[in-house]
Amino acid sequence: MTPDDTTKPEDASAPLLELDDVAVHFGGVRAVDGVSLHLREGLIYGILGANGSGKSTLLGAVTRLNPLTRGHLRFDGRPYENVPAHRVAHLGVARTFQTVRLIDDRSVLDNVLLGLDTADRSKRKHARGRADEVMERVGITHLQRMRPSELSYGMQRRTEIARAIVGTPRLLLLDEPTAGMNTEERDEISDLLRSLQQEGYTQLLVEHDVQMMVTVCDYLFAMNFGKLIAQGLPDDVVADQGVRESYLGRQAADA
């Protein structure tokens, strides 16, 4: 499939997220350069691409951390390219980062509660109960009094996911959620993401583990030099000639 024949979702429901000709340039670096895509509610989407192809910058554009050079963003049909980054959580968008970003002089529980700092008062009122719920959900309840540095890397990543979902976002952006994990931990995170999908979380993942992306995602995008070069069903995207040449071939060559 090419971007042209799949930019519209197949059904008539409005996309949860729409990017229209989004570009983020850093001086002369065209990190993201004219990306248009639609995400439908309830699916898991993935972005594949070589190092430096613009994947994290695109997530930064969606969360408004990276100012747009041009283009438009819509969430649930409403434009939000002028909404400041600190208000994006209120729209229902949450994110984890490529490197673990937990506060080490606070407990795991406190780190999870930080995910509700910018939430509406109604959500904050039930903060402790909700934090208990999500810690149970991601399997870190028994670690809640510990400091992040006392946790394994896999458990730190789970803590980040708990912090991201504690505010019940509608869209969860995950930047390399299994980076640095062993196979067992990767499989566990894959299972966790799929079970979060059953609970209604729409997800957009950036990940270098192609096998995991094919297994977990319903739909893949591939980027190269800031542009979308393919999108479609995971098996089709990894079989795409351009994707193989720009990314998968390079991965094999680097192996």
Ligand X SMILES: Nc1ncnc2c1ncn2[C@@H]1O[C@H](COP(=O)(O)OP(=O)(O)OP(=O)(O)O)[C@@H](O)[C@H]1O
> Distance (Å, rounded) from C-alpha 13 to C-alpha 16?
9
Judged by CB under 6 A, the residue of 31, 48, 102, 140 near ligand X is 31
Q: How far is the CB of 229 from ligand X (least distance, A)?
A: 13
Compute how many residues bind ligand X; rule: CB under 6 A.
12
Which of 23/143 has CB closer to ligand X? Answer: 23
53 is a site residue for ligand X (CB under 6 A) = yes
* CA 36 to centroid of chain Cα atoms: 17
Question: What are 17's strand-pairing partners?
Answer: 39, 75
Instruction: Determine which residue in the list 15, 46, 54, 167 makes contact with ligand X, applying CB under 6 A.
Output: 54
Kindly indicate which of the ranges 55-63, 142-150, 183-191, 237-245 contains the residues binding ligand X, using the contact rule CB under 6 A: 55-63
DSSP bridge pairs for 26: 29
Say whether residue 231 binds ligand X (CB under 6 A).
Answer: no
**CA dist list (Å): 254 to 173, 209, 230, 250, 251:** 27, 14, 22, 6, 5
Among 1, 26, 101, 242, binds ligand X (CB under 6 A): 26
Nearer to ligand X, 29 or 85 (CB): 29
Asked whether position 6 contacts ligand X by CB under 6 A, the answer is no
Per CB under 6 A, the list member of 56, 197, 203, 231 interacting with ligand X is 56
Min dist CB 52 to ligand X, Å, is 4
* Site map (CB under 6 A) of ligand X, residues 105-144, x = contact: ----------------------------------------
57 binds ligand X (CB under 6 A): yes
**Residue 206 Cβ vs ligand X, minimum distance, rounded to whole Å:** 6
- The nearest distance, CB 27 to ligand X, in angstroms, is 7
Interaction between residue 34 and ligand X (CB under 6 A)? no
82 binds ligand X (CB under 6 A): no
Cβ closest to ligand X, residue 13 vs residue 211 = 211
Applying CB under 6 A, the residues found at the interface with ligand X are: 26, 29, 31, 49, 51-57, 98
